[in-house]
Every structure is written in C-alpha cells, then in structure tokens.
Structure 1
Amino acid sequence: MSSYLAVGGVSALLRWLLSNALTPNGPTTLLGGGSPGITATSPDLVQTGADEAPHLNIFMYYASLNPALRNESEPSRNARGEAISNPPLALNLHYLVTAYGAGQFDPEILLGWAMKVFHDTPVVPRAMIESAMTDLSTNNVTPEGQLISGCLLATQFEHIRITPEALTTEEIYRLWTAFQTSYRPTTSYQVSVVVIQDTASYASNRPVQRRGVLALPSQAPVITSVAPNPVLAGGTLTILGQAFTGDTPGGTLVSFDNAAGLPPDTVQGTTLRIAVPATLQAGTRTLRVQRTVTYPISPAAHAGFSSSPMPFQLLPVITQVNPASVARGSAATLSISPAVGSAQQVVFYLGDTALPIEARALGNPPVSQLALTVPASFATGKWPVRIEVDGAQSRIALDTTNGSPTYGQWLPQLEVTP
C-alpha cells in the first residue's frame, strides 16, 4: 500500500523512465550530443524563448478518483465514530508531456521519442519502480526526493499503468490558456491506479466462534412524560412510561443528547429516576430510555431497544454573585451551573433590562463564571439577576426567611451604587 507521497512518486517515476531510456544513439545524438533536460514542473515555470534548450516536461494537471475501486471497501467508521477499516483512496493521475526546443525539429524528435518510451512500458514493473525510488534517494538528493523515495509505491497491490489519453483541440486550448504561457507540442497520458491507504490501527471484530439466536418481542420503551420540566441544574428527573425494564433492571439505561447511556438511580416498570448529569449544558435537551440485550452465549450487553427522544429544558442556576454590590459601569462575577459552552447564547437580566454578552471564541472550554457589566447609566438600587442560556432562563426566588436582611426581596440580586 502507498502513502500520500505516491502522487509525487508517480511523477518522479515517469521522469526516471525517460531519463533511464536515454542512450548515445537516441535523442542526445540527434540534438547535437547534449542530453535534453527532463523536468516535472508546471508549464508556466519552464523557460521559453528563442534560445530555449531542448527538453521534455511532465506535468500532472489533474487527479481523479478511480471509479472501479472507489467503493471497494466498507465505511471506515462505525456509528460511534470509531475507525473500523482503512479504506483505500484510489486515484487516476492525468499528465501532459510537452516538448521544447529552439531547433527546427527538436520538439518533434523529443515528443516522438517520449511517446515511444511510454508505449514500450504500458505496465511499469515493480522492479523499475524500486530502481526509480532508489535512484531518487541516492543521486542528486533533495528534501522532496528524499520524502518521495519512501512512498512505498512499489508495494501497492495494483500495478501502475500508463495509458494514452485523447484530448480534444478545445480541451488542449483551454489547458494552455489556463497556463498563460506559450504553447508547445503536447500529448497526454493517464497513469492508474495509485492506491493510497493508511496503516493506522483500527477496531476489528473477532471471527464468529459460536452462533446464538434470541427471540424477543419487538416492544420498545415509550416515554409518556418527564417531570419536572423544566428542571434545575443538579435536579432529578422522573420519567414515566412503559416497557422500561427487560430481563434485568441493570439492562435499562438513560441517554442524554444521544450520548452513552447512564444507569438510572431507581428502576421500576413504568417509572425511572435519574439525576441530571453535571456535564449537560443548559437549554433544550433530549433523553431516551434504552434497553440492552444479553445473549445466552455472551455476558456482554448489546444495544437493544430505544425509545423516541423526549425533549426537556434544563435551567441554569446562579450560585453566587460576587461582589454583591458594584458601582455603575463596573462588573460583577456570576457563578453559573452548569458551565456555559462557547457556542451558547447568553443574556443577563438585571431587573427587567436585558444585557446580552458577546459570544466567546469557538472551541474554548465551558466556563462556570461570567462577568456582568452594569451600564454606566443604569439606575441605582437592588435588582434581581437572571441569566438566559440558549433560551433557558434561571429562576429567582422570594426570600421568606424571617430576620433575613433580604426578607421580602427577590434573590439572587445585585446592588447597583452610584
């Protein structure tokens, strides 16, 4: 199997085939004894003019997917996102071979000779590929050549085939117009198949040792209600419905937002209770009830039946306001549970005034503290504070404790001073 360097390896291989085919009786003699240069670069980088040296240029202008091998392998990841195979990337490479020369017949001689070399090598033997890569790593070594020499092109399971490709006059005109350089005699070839495949490890199921059949009624869990809804962060949800339990209570799980299932705190036939995970962010969330299945021949639990998703709203909670009193134009720090993600929309409410905050940069970790800046023109006094995260708004509570300094006031609150 080849690495991604195989694309450059093919260009180096074609250049080596032409260089290796030069003989004293070939184009070197016909061109006055000077060995024509053979390059693999873009046509607009080739030096042209009245005194241009006779040489050949190979340019890969397009890479396409090989249709025969495109769907050869199975999907590379399972439903959990785990790699289960290393599917190959099979490519066809499309080349232009262009001849240059200031002499009257130099381009014709070189182009005809190059086409004869490729005609005589329709399938490149693995030994030739190995020789080309060895030569690339030992003679006139460059950093690029050193990299390409390790591309493992000779070890791939498909042969390298060189096939003439017919381009229309219009297609050639469009290509050379895109190059924005002077046209020279050109022919085209397709080189296939270049197979690029990773060697990374992946999960693989063991061969089947024993077969077992388990017949179960097709009865999925059904959720009829979730209470309380909305629920405060850190609260406990009571899920009502039917068909929650299977063979054992341990086979019942609750999944939040399609994450891995969690065992509930209590399990009954029609009732489940589970604490809201601390990692669940505020806003509209979903939960499912799942039942696993254990086969007689294996102790491992397998995914079985799942209910439809049931939405509920998770409210944020302001756990602390620090300091409790700030001057206008200053900021107070609010501790919030659960932590707020960078992609979540947040609005503070100071009294009845909404104070949206700017979104944080995506990718930042969730934060449990946010700064509330009081506008410089805000009225002084004690104001209840709320926070809204993705449409879920925290609650305020009336202090009914006798003797409390905030008796009869709504909490949490922030005092705004001049």
Structure 2
Amino acid sequence: MSNSLAIAAVTTTLRHLLQQRFDTDGFGGITVTTRPLDKARDNNITSGDQVNLFLYHTQPNAAWRNMDIPSQVKSGETAQPLLPLNLYYMLTAYAKNDDFPEPTSHRLLGEAMSIFNDHPILSPADIRGALPGINSPEFDLDQQVERVRIVLQALSVDDLFRLWSTFQAPYRISSAYEVSVVLIESRRPAKTPLPVIRRQSDDRGPVVQSDLMSPFPTLTSVQLPNQEGSARLGNVVTINGFHLEGEIVVVLFMNPRLANPIQVSPVPGITGTKIKVELPNDSGNWVAGFYTLGVRVTQTGQPSRTTNELSFSLAPQILDIIPRQVIRDANGEVTLVMICSPQVRSQQRVALLLGDREVLAQSRTTQTDRLEFRITGVTPGEYFLRLRIDGVDSLLVDRTVTPPVFDPNQKVSII
C-alpha cells in the first residue's frame, strides 16, 4: 500500500518522465512545472518554452472503495478501509513569443502526450528513478499492489471552458489525463482478535481426487508440521505428488522479495509420491511471507523437469521480547524490541499484533532481526503478541501439546 505522500510521488514521477525525455531528445531549455493554471505562466519565474502538469481534481476510485487491504486484513479482522484515489491532470504547453513564428507549443504538447502514451503504467523503476529517496520508508508507492495507470481523457469544450474560467486564465491548448489508482493506507490500527484454538469436530480440509495422472512430475499438496497454517525455519515440510523420484531432485522456493529461488535438497527417503525437505535455519537469506514451491526432477536419460507450483506461507518467529515486563512512561507509552527470525528487509511491512490492536514497526533502512515498536494508549495488563510480516503471522498457538495452548513465550506484561 501507499502512504499519504503517494499523490506527491505520482506528480513527481510524471514530471520526471517529461523532463527526462525533453532533456535527452534535443528539446533543450524546456521547463516542466506543476503549477496552477493561473500561475503557470508567471513571467517572474517562467517565460520560455514550458510544459505544465496541473493536478486539478481527485476522485474516489469506485472499484477499490471500502475494500480491505489485500493480504493484510484477514477473516475476522477489522481495519479502516483504504483511500483509493483517481488523479486528474491538465497537461498544457507554452512557447516563448506565443508561438510566433513557429507553433512550438504544439510540438511540445505532442511530445509530452507521446511520453505518457509510452508509459501507460508507472513501473516501480519509473517511480524509484523519480524519487532518489525511495528506499526511505517515507516513499512506498513502488510497493503498491496495484500499478498506477495513465489514461488520456476526452474533455468536452464546456468542461474545458469551465475549468479555465475558474482560474481566470487565458486558454491554451491542453490535454487531460486520469491517473489511477493511488491506494492510501489508513494510519488507524486494525482490530485483530486472537485466533480460535479449538476447531469443530467436522472441520476438514479439502479433499482432492483424480483418476488421471500426468506422466510428468506433479505436486498435489504440501503438508506442514502439526497441521499449522504456516511453516517456520527449521521445520520439515512434506510434499506430496507423483513421479517425484529421480537421480537429482531439488526443491525450489520462490518469494517476490527474493531475486532468485532458494534451492534445497530433500532429506533422504524420496519416493515417487512423497518428498520431505527441511527448511534451513538460515535467517539472513530467507524472508517471512508467502512462497511458492516447485520440484525440479532429473531422471536418468531424461531432461530436467520442473513440477507445477504450490503455495505456502513462512511465518516469522519471535525469538525474544525485550523487555517482557515493561513500565509505561509518563505519556503512557511503551517501547518493545522483538528479536525475530528470519531477518526483515527494509521494504517489508511489519506490524505487531498486541491483543486486538495493530502497531506498525519503526522504520528500518537495512536488513535486521531487531524490530522496535512504540505503543501508545495501552492499558496495563498481560498481552499475547503476534508478529505480522507481509501478511503472515507468527505462530501463537502451540499445537505440539494436547489440547493446544497459546505460546507463553509470546506474552508480555505491561505495568
């Protein structure tokens, strides 16, 4: 998701695309501004060749309105809806000497429209190029789940007349664009109730049956230890399928945060229908979040084949809480430090679920296993904690015992 700086980030990115093209395509001396229509042609500032990009209107996006945050709000949780916005820009070209003797402004407008036509979608690279400080948590538009699209709008003569008349500015040939969608995340914490420990007796998972078997290596399911919803580093994961035996068998783990798949060799005892693989306790190279896994099988005399992919989630693990008993300061604020595994990348979304509230982690600039949370307005008491990274929660329920219980190592006392 994006924060409240997303509107400014979009405007800056569009301006950068225009200025970059003008500077490299032989249009020397072109100034790209983002001023209101009545201030765009201020002789005290700009009197030469100029392209002005003016944000004249914002409007809620109907498709995203009142939707929960994807991958961040789960069933049974309540969060403030997103603020989805469509942005409307007016693109206007000006020329020195008022287009005499050549219609220079027409050339500039055509070039500017060509630039937006060549960039119908703002890629993460476009945004990072326009915002050198994009690695700072202040700017996160490039991490937005929905890409920002640029669409040329057809405004009627009446619409143009009313718009320019509002600013009491002389009309210049212009074109209008809709830029959507910008998803601004609410700063209000989500309500996250504790999970239910006991399941009903008839609560069953899906059953998959098939009478037609592929002749190629194929995966059918992934089994996690103790029927957990997520795996942790160090766990042994069971992969079911058929035609999985081979001379060389490698399990591939893929995550959007990782540049390349992680390759892990299975534990001994591979059969044609089952593979077991231990997730290495390598905190620095893994990330918490959602993964897809596949198996590459090389059989004697046959080329290597890669199976279909199945998804699973890797949960973060709270190794330590500092301190476990904390006293509120004079302002009613407490600071908790979490030591976690695997390490957290700077662009990952990290939140602490304290009781039934969500608290975002303090900003980070490097990969780390140490997270700081500052919590205000909390009442004294004992709280169970969960760490949520990229939509995956730490495992609060201990299912290695019967009946299952909440993990006492994930509890903190606030005085």
Identify the TM-score tier after normalising by the shorter chain: 0.3 to 0.5
Q: Taking structure 2 as the reference length, what is the TM-score of the superposition?
A: 0.42
Q: Taking structure 1 as the reference length, what is the TM-score of the superposition?
A: 0.42
Q: Which has the higher contact order (CA 8 A, sep 6+)?
A: 2
Larger radius of gyration: 1
